[in-house]
Every structure is written in structure tokens, then in C-alpha cells.
Structure 1
Amino acid sequence: MPQQNDFSEAKAICNEIGGAVLEVLGRKRALSVQSLIDIIEEARAGNFIYTVERKQRMERAVYILKKFIQP
């Protein structure tokens, strides 16, 4: 079932971005693509222990978000 796995991964990446949106709004920061990237990168650099899969999802989320700000 490759489609199911692809869907699950896409959903997980969306959840990472959605979580970043909530964090930005919770901190009362301006909502922008860069602020979402900053939040995800702060989480990756923090003292948290993430699974390999979660780290990969965070990296992919940042990669996708950067597509919106690169020329």
C-alpha cells in the first residue's frame, strides 16, 4: 500500500507545519513562512529527543517551506 504510506507521510509533514503555525500564533509573532521555518528549526536545535522519523519530517517541512521564499 504505497499510497497509504505516502498519505501518512504527507499528513505528518502537514502536522509539523500546522504545529509550527500554532506555536507562532501562541507566541504572538507575525505569521510568515520564515517564522514557521524558525520555529521548526528552533525545535530541532533544542534539547528535545525526537525519533529519526520525526527529525526527517521536520527537515522535509523546512525544505517545503523554503520553496516559498526562494527565488
Structure 2
Amino acid sequence: MSKTLAAGQWLRHERFGVGVAVESDEEHTTIDFEEHGPKKFVTRLLEVELTSARDTPLARRRRKTTVAR
């Protein structure tokens, strides 16, 4: 995908799943994924499938827990 995404655009990434574009320019695109949190990509190398708008908010991410010793 060589062009930038609009903020708020929903998409699906093969590895990270469903997410929403947070910001995008000619160099970098930041996407907030439901299960994996925000990720930053090189725009010209980004391969995603655009999807329709979601009617549900992003799922709450599980907080990382530490193992008690």
C-alpha cells in the first residue's frame, strides 16, 4: 500500500488483526490494533486490507503481569 491512510480508517493486517489508523504520512503509518496495541510501519511497505467502520470500541488490552517470586 503506497498511499497514506485517513485517521480512523479500519483495516486488517495479516499478522496483527483488526486495527484503526491513528496517523499516516508518506513515510510512516501508526495503527492501533485491538489485540496488539499501537504499531508503527513504513507506509510504502505496509500491506493491509481496508475494512468497513466498526461499531464497537477497541477491546481492552490485557495488562502484562509479573510473576511473583
* Structure number having the greater strand percentage: 2
- TM class by shorter chain equals under 0.3
Q: What TM-score results when the alignment is normalised by the length of structure 2?
A: 0.19
Pair member with larger Rg: 2
* Structure number having the greater helix percentage: 1
Q: Which has the higher contact order (CA 8 A, sep 6+)?
A: 1
Q: What TM-score results when the alignment is normalised by the length of structure 1?
A: 0.19
